Structure 1
Amino acid sequence: MINTLRLLLWPFSLLYGLVIAIRNFLYDKNIFKSQKFDLPVIVIGNLAVGGTGKSPLTEYLIRLLRDSFKVASLSRGYGRETTGFIYVETTDSFTKVGDEPLQFKTKYPEVTVAVCEDRVEGVKRLKDTHDVIVLDDAFQHRALTPGLSILLFDYESLFKPRLLLPAGNLRDSFTQRKRADLIIITKTPSSLSEEKKTAAVKRMAVNANQQILFSSLSYGSPYNIFNASETKDDLLNQESDILLVTGIANPKPLLNYLEGKCHKIELVSYPDHHSYTEKDMEFIVKKYTALSAKNKIIVSTEKDLQRLRKFLNNPLLSNLPIWIIPVEACFNEEDSRQFTSLILNYCHKKVK
């Protein structure tokens, strides 16, 4: 059925591919102008639609840079109901600034977080008061030329067909990977063999001047949605049933992490950036109540937390054990050293 649908959508993918090929050609030939800035501008992006781990890597960069530089994170603010340039505050709603920027600001309140659909305008507003600007999900925003471009690929998708939208999930041609300075294969299994790493590198067919690294996801101690200071390392155990509630692009890595740590897992999955409703809350409560175990909990993500906040005073949820599991990008020792060296050398060289 899926193959048949892809075949039916293939003509539309060809048309889409023609449009983006013309657009990229016009930028490559400098017919469409692209602006470059003097300060360090780091772009994080991907070619596929969602789910490659951009947010954990953005946070990784924030933690790496915040002690040495005045850092700003700039995002589009996907899903917000506003337009234009906005500084994100911890008291904002996700409908004003988007869930991911609000997550960044909540976790790192000392760092400037801003949203603007026009990245060039956003950088102009930030450049005079910041040393480094990190742009989340801006690889396709070619009106801006980054100083350092980081492109992410989800390991699981590496060996799947490379099809453009709508037949596939690529929003830009795979050939555009050549524009990246650094390619990171994300969500790699911790036990990935050197042989499989070599196969992945070969599959990417990078240029001689491109560096390729591997990262994975690391999950932290769950914390209570009503009290972030309350954490429990022993929350996940074989006597517990878990209702996993997500509105993210790819819940599979988290699902895989939870499997084997509890008696039973039931997934309630909504689309990425889903705006939760009262009806959703009623459904979640119903699914939780139906779990048979004596010990049962609801688990969700930090990204979902930004969209669940408006229900924290709702009587439906007030007595429920809802826990948030934080996630971070991590590298092995050698790749961590290389990544840190690349980023810090670039920033120190550009910052006067």
Structure 2
Amino acid sequence: MRKLRLLLFPFAGVYYLVTLTRNKLFDAGILASKQYDVPVICIGNLSVGGTGKSPMTEYVTRLLKNNYKIATLSRGYGRTTKGYKDVAATSLATEVGDEPLQFAQKFNDIDVAVCENRQVGIATLLNKKQTPEVIILDDAYQHRKVTPGFTVLLTAYNDLYSNDYLLPAGNLREPRSGSQRADVIIVTKCPGYLSKEEQHKIKSNLQPTERQQVFFAKIAYDDCVYSKSGSAQLHSLKVHNVTLITGIANPKPLADYLSSDGLSFEHKSYGDHHNFSSSEIAELEKLDCILTTEKDYVRLRPQLKMKHLYYLPIKVEFLSDNQVFDKKLLDYVASFREE
């Protein structure tokens, strides 16, 4: 498949010229980009596919929410609605998108909103009676009409943007030079141990600017699985015939983790943000026990009546230097209170 995509290099050249020109126009101020008087944090990537934006958004939310009123703003990928919408824990994924709904159900003390136009979304949030003190933009790296105050660029350990090509030959949404807009770069989905030598090689490969710092993080899995009736130890599922259902960009790390933990399961993999049809739901209802991801769970739970439907939460853990990252972010947000 990769070799076939390489045949599309001439089209990638056209895409390169279009995206490079667009970025140059924004950099030169010919295309307007709006700045704000509140901290705006952007979390995104250069590529299509999963780099762990949602767990990183949750990490930043947890870091700040006890001291600031937080709002997250996403496009709401896969939703059937348009325009600005506030997201409640009772919203449907089809109306607001699965990841924003996941945020709303997990954090009841923050504002969660979706809007494909980030300027409109930010303006609406800032016109609320209780104005957010910090706005976190989820997956908005290419949304140049907003100039964030702090930008976090994610790249997956096994799929570094420095080794990739532009669409359609590769998975990059814009040229690699776009990485220079980031304040920090985080290599996500790393193995649990990564030697200093390998970290140095990756940093050299990414070629950060002098002002950019590179961090390394892994995905950590919860000890328990969760359902509408509560939590249970992952090992307790061994008494069932478990089917792993995934609608994410790269389910392999999750499947590998479950296998390494000794869980026996069948795996049904669907496309990222998959909307399950009525016939697919009917087939899933026949299964004994379903284990899924958290964002798949928010889509499946309203449709499935089965008793044994569980999800396994994940979170970001830094391999080291998390205090350095936390301080950089906290100092940026605190600087607005000092003005």
TM-score of the two chains, using structure 1 as the length reference:
0.90
Retained in 1: the 8 A contact 2:162–2:176?
no
Cα distance change on mapping 1:271 and 1:200 into 2, 3 Å:
same
Residue of structure 2 equivalent to 1:257: 257
Retained in 2: the 8 A contact 1:236–1:262?
no
Retained in 2: the 8 A contact 1:40–1:351?
no
1:298 aligned to 2:285?
Answer: no
Residues 12-36 of structure 1, C-alpha deviation per residue, up to 9 Å, x if partnerless? 1111111111111111111101000
CA distance in 2, matches of 1:244, 1:160: 32
CA distance in 2, matches of 1:199, 1:337: 23
Residue of structure 1 equivalent to 2:310: 323
Residue of structure 2 equivalent to 1:41: 40
Q: Give the count of matched residue pairs.
A: 335
1:312 aligned to 2:304?
Answer: yes
User: How far apart are residue 256 of structure 1 and its match?
Assistant: 1.6
CA distance in 1, matches of 2:9, 2:233: 49
CA distance in 1, matches of 2:181, 2:254: 31
Residues 52-111 of structure 1, C-alpha deviation per residue, up to 9 Å, x if partnerless? 000000001111111000100000111111111111111110111111000000000111
CA distance in 2, matches of 1:149, 1:37: 14
User: How far apart are residue 267 of structure 1 and its match?
Assistant: 1.6
Retained in 2: the 8 A contact 1:39–1:351?
no
CA distance in 2, matches of 1:196, 1:241: 40
1:247 aligned to 2:247?
Answer: yes
1:175-254 aligned within 5 A: 175-227=177-229, 229-235=230-236, 242-254=242-254
Retained in 1: the 8 A contact 2:44–2:152?
yes
Structure 2: gaps (5+ residues):
none
Please give the root-mean-square deviation of Cα atoms over the aligned residues, in Å.
1.8
Residues 133-160 of structure 1, C-alpha deviation per residue, up to 9 Å, x if partnerless? 0000001000010000100000011287
Residue of structure 1 equivalent to 2:67: 68
Residue of structure 2 equivalent to 1:123: 122
1:95 aligned to 2:123?
Answer: no
User: How far apart are residue 240 of structure 1 and its match?
Assistant: 6.5
1:139-158 aligned within 5 A: 139-158=141-160
User: How far apart are residue 122 of structure 1 and its match?
Assistant: 1.1
Identity score, percent = 43
CA distance in 2, matches of 1:17, 1:284: 42
Residue of structure 2 equivalent to 1:292: none
Retained in 1: the 8 A contact 2:162–2:206?
no
User: How far apart are residue 282 of structure 1 and its match?
Assistant: 3.6
1:132 aligned to 2:134?
Answer: yes
User: How far apart are residue 263 of structure 1 and its match?
Assistant: 5.1
Q: Which moved more, 1:249-258 or 1:40-49?
A: 249-258
User: How far apart are residue 236 of structure 1 and its match?
Assistant: 5.7
Residues 181-239 of structure 1, C-alpha deviation per residue, up to 9 Å, x if partnerless? 01000011011111111111111100110011111111113334332x232253365x7
Retained in 2: the 8 A contact 1:80–1:98?
yes
User: How far apart are residue 335 of structure 1 and its match?
Assistant: 1.7
CA distance in 2, matches of 1:160, 1:21: 16
Cα distance change on mapping 1:118 and 1:350 into 2, 3 Å:
same
1:280 aligned to 2:272?
Answer: no
1:91 maps to a residue whose letter is: T
Structure 1: gaps (5+ residues):
290-296
Retained in 1: the 8 A contact 2:226–2:312?
no
TM-score of the two chains, using structure 2 as the length reference:
0.94
